[in-house]
Amino acid sequence: MSSRRYVLLGVADDGVFSRLKAEIEGLPNVEVIRGLSIGDFDGVSLAVFPTGVRYSGVPVSEVPTIVKKHLEGDKTVDQRFDGSVLPSTILPSRQKRIVLERVGVIDPESIDEYIESGGYEALKKALNEMSPADVIEEVKASGLRGRGGAGFPTGLKWEFTAKSEGKMRFVIANADESEPGTFKDRVIEEGDPHRLIEGVLIAGYAVGASQGYIFVRGEHSLAIERLKKAIADAKERSFIGENILDTGFSFDIRLVPSAGGYICGEETALIEALEGKRGQPRPKPPYPPQKGLWNQPTLVNNVETLANVPSIIMKGANWYRSFGTESSPGTKVYSVLGNTVHTGLFEAPMGITLRELVFDYGGGLKDGEFRAALVGGAAGGFIADLDTKLDFEGVKEKGGMLGSGAVLVLSDKADAIGVLLSIARFFKRESCGKCVPCRVGTQIITDIMTRVYNGNCTRKDLDVMLDIAYNMKLTSFCPLGQSVHLPVKTALEIFRADFESRCGD
């Protein structure tokens, strides 16, 4: 691993960036790399490497202090810029980093650093030492499950795709990350783009595909920039293209920015969009492994899923299974937000409890007592039990869904009704309009939630809302509409009293 000194900037802020550039001028061996999402941050953050010390909420005026003390004097600036105490110390040490192992550690724009740190070794191993079937077996054995939310066994999906008849096969990395509160995939794309590319290449080899796509959320401009460069660099080094590394395997990857729309994260809507059509879901079956892009067998995997693959191939299924739980091996990248002291991304083994996540990683609550957490993003459910195990089964047992791994922590002072209203609005805005229950139901639920929020609803409204949400769960065309029921139902269970206090009757 490189030992050069550099400053990574978190959320891109032009003022901080230019000031940093100016301040470090003349300092030997210090670089500024702009716009990296460090992983755990709120507000503008930067980190100084190789030590990895992070600074949150840095105003422009404090940049000279950090440069002077830390970069020139090598002393950590022990002061939080919004007045509280720092440095942020929840660190990689406590986390178990697999997919984020290089994020914030290497220069994401340098293919050399990726290679120096062991990158593309898994690809070489797969191509040179393993048959496609071996690769699929390894992934199956690892127990890796889809990190997009549904948790479908990845190896099985690969096998279905490999076994489907078609003129050609495709691999699509679903990088259209749009679940509210979720930003794990973006951080991988921005912080370690080659890892994703390597995952796509190995998947392509395993399922017998020759064309890959990374369908990336259009708003993620930095991710797009980094991925573009990474693809170009990988092509130049013959990791992508004809006869890769002289192994006879040919594979191309194209980057396609999404035109927008939460629904395009649904795999069949994504495929429609990729074909240049209106992003609306297709009926299933057939599933993409049978008939996907251009009606050919297509593997669609989430970014985090694919990012696990190089490590599994390199270190083996048994190693992978040493993390996490029996049914959900490996790690999970949780996006923690809300009322915790620390918010941001934490990669931790599957199966840690909600309590561990909130208190050990999130540093506890900023203010007030823990009330509940919305686990799984807008499409997830509210969970009040801190002993809930955070893996696919554990969350399901509590009536929720692990989903994308977004965890919105609410204290007893938080406005749960406001959260549910914003979820309702989100679904209303993102409903594609194709099926009746979702198109109409999201509007009705939003209207009722607005009345609840304004304190002029009736108890009957609450019943109607739950009925509609249930009908949506039973009859909606795709997971978008089906998802609405969970947050509504769990909110009404946990916050029943709050809701009733807003009713006029």
Partner 1 sequence: MSSKEMVTIHIDGKEIHAPRGASLLKVARDNGIDIPGLCYYEKVSPTGSCRLCVVKIDGRPGLVPSCMVQVEDGMKVTAFDDEIESVRRGILEMILAEHDDDCINCEKNGSCELQDLAFRYNLGRELRTLPSLLDVVPKIYDDSSPVLIYDSHKCIKCGRCIKACFEIQGKGVLSFAGKGLGEYVVAGIENWADSACDGCGECVQACPTGALVEKPVYGVRVREIDVDRKVVTTCPYCGVGCQLELWIKDDRIVKVRGYDDIPNRGSTCVKGRFGLDFVHSPDRLKYPLIKKDGKFVEVSWEEALDYVASRLSEIRDKYGPDAIAGLSSAKCTNEENFVFQKFMRAVIGTNSVDHCARLCHASTIAGLVRAFGSGAMTNSIEEFLNADVIFITGSNTTETHPVTATYIKRAVLFHNAKLIVADPRRIDLVDYATVWLQQRNGTDVALFNGLMHVIWKEGLMDEEFIRSRTEGFDEFIKVIEKFTPEKTEEITDVPKEKIIEAARLYGSAERASIVYAMGITQHVTGTDNVLSLANMALLTGNVGRESTGVNPLRGQNNVQGACDLGALPNVFPGYQKVTDPNARRKFEEAWGVKLPEEPGLTVVEMMYAATQGKVKAMYFMGENPVISDPNIPHVKEALEVVEFLVVQDIFLTETAQYADVVLPAASFAEKNGTYTNTERRVLWVQKAIDPPGEAKPDWVIVQDVARKMGYDMGYSSVKDIIDEINRLVPIYAGITYERIRNGEKLQWPCPSPEHPGTKYLYKDRFNRPNGLGKFHPVDFIPPAEWPDEEYPFLLSTGRILYHFHTTSMTRRTQALPQYVEGPYMEMHPDDMKKLGIEDGEVVRVVSRRGEIKIKAIASGRVYSGSVFIPFHFAEAAANMLTNDALDPISKIPELKVAAVRIEKIE
Cβ(445)–Cβ(488) under 8 Å?
yes
Residue among 475, 461, 504, 503 at smallest CA distance from 488: 461
Residue 422 touches partner 1, criterion: CB under 8 A: no
Residue 176 touches partner 1, criterion: CB under 8 A: no
Annotate each residue in 375-414 with x if it binds partner 1 (CB under 8 A) or - if it does not, as one string: ----------------------------------------
Residue 150 touches partner 1, criterion: CB under 8 A: no
Residue 56 touches partner 1, criterion: CB under 8 A: no
Cβ count near 165 (within 10 Å)? 8
- Token pair of 154, please? 């990845």
Residue 275 touches partner 1, criterion: CB under 8 A: no
- Token pair of 423, please? 């979820």
User: Any residues with CB less than 8 A from the CB of 359 and at least 6 apart, and which?
Assistant: none
| 229 or 439: CB nearest partner 1 | 439
User: Any residues with CB less than 8 A from the CB of 320 and at least 6 apart, and which?
Assistant: 142, 143, 144, 308, 311, 312, 329, 330
Residue 477 touches partner 1, criterion: CB under 8 A: yes
Q: Which stretch binds partner 1 (CB under 8 A): 68-76, 300-308, 396-404, 440-448?
A: 440-448
- CB 263, min distance to partner 1, A: 9
| 166 or 310: CB nearest partner 1 | 166
- CB 399, min distance to partner 1, A: 17
Residue among 410, 96, 123 at smallest CA distance from 251: 123
From the number of C-beta atoms within 10 Å of its C-beta (0-12, 13-18, 19+), residue 131 rates as exposed
Residue 424 touches partner 1, criterion: CB under 8 A: no
| 52 or 218: CB nearest partner 1 | 218
Residue 440 touches partner 1, criterion: CB under 8 A: yes
Q: What is the chain's length? A: 505
Residue 466 touches partner 1, criterion: CB under 8 A: no
- CB 327, min distance to partner 1, A: 20
Residue 483 touches partner 1, criterion: CB under 8 A: no
| 15 or 433: CB nearest partner 1 | 433
Q: Which stretch binds partner 1 (CB under 8 A): 221-229, 315-323, 399-407, 463-471?
A: 463-471
89-120 burial, b at 16+ Cβ within 10 Å, e below that, comes to: ebebeebbbbbbbbbbbbbbbbbebbeebebb
From the number of C-beta atoms within 10 Å of its C-beta (0-12, 13-18, 19+), residue 84 rates as exposed
- Sign (positive or negative) of CA dihedral 177, 178, 181, 186: positive
Residue 180 touches partner 1, criterion: CB under 8 A: no
User: Which listed residue (117, 434, 450, 498) binds partner 1 by CB under 8 A?
Assistant: 434
How many residues lie near partner 1 (CB under 8 A)? 29
Residue 268 touches partner 1, criterion: CB under 8 A: no
- CB 213, min distance to partner 1, A: 23
Residue 474 touches partner 1, criterion: CB under 8 A: yes
Q: Collapsing DSSP states into helix, strand and coil, what is residue 247? A: coil
Angstrom distance (rounded) from CA 368 to CA 365:
7
205-264 binders of partner 1 (CB under 8 A): 261
Q: Which stretch binds partner 1 (CB under 8 A): 36-44, 184-192, 382-390, 438-446?
A: 438-446
Q: In this structure, which amino acid lies at residue 364?
A: G
387-425 burial, b at 16+ Cβ within 10 Å, e below that, comes to: ebbbbbebbeebebbbbbbbbbbbbeebebbebbbbbbb
Distances (CA, A) of 11 to 8, 174, 180: 10, 23, 18
User: Which listed residue (343, 431, 483, 490) binds partner 1 by CB under 8 A?
Assistant: 431
From the number of C-beta atoms within 10 Å of its C-beta (0-12, 13-18, 19+), residue 338 rates as buried
Residue 443 touches partner 1, criterion: CB under 8 A: yes
Residue 489 touches partner 1, criterion: CB under 8 A: no
- CB 469, min distance to partner 1, A: 11
Residue 425 touches partner 1, criterion: CB under 8 A: no
Sheet of 45-49: strand order equals 30-33, 5-9, 45-49, 53-56
Residue 196 touches partner 1, criterion: CB under 8 A: no
Q: Which stretch binds partner 1 (CB under 8 A): 203-211, 309-317, 371-379, 435-443?
A: 435-443
Residue 486 touches partner 1, criterion: CB under 8 A: no
- Site of interaction with partner 1 (CB under 8 A): 261, 278, 280, 283, 428-437, 439-444, 447, 464, 467-468, 471, 474-477
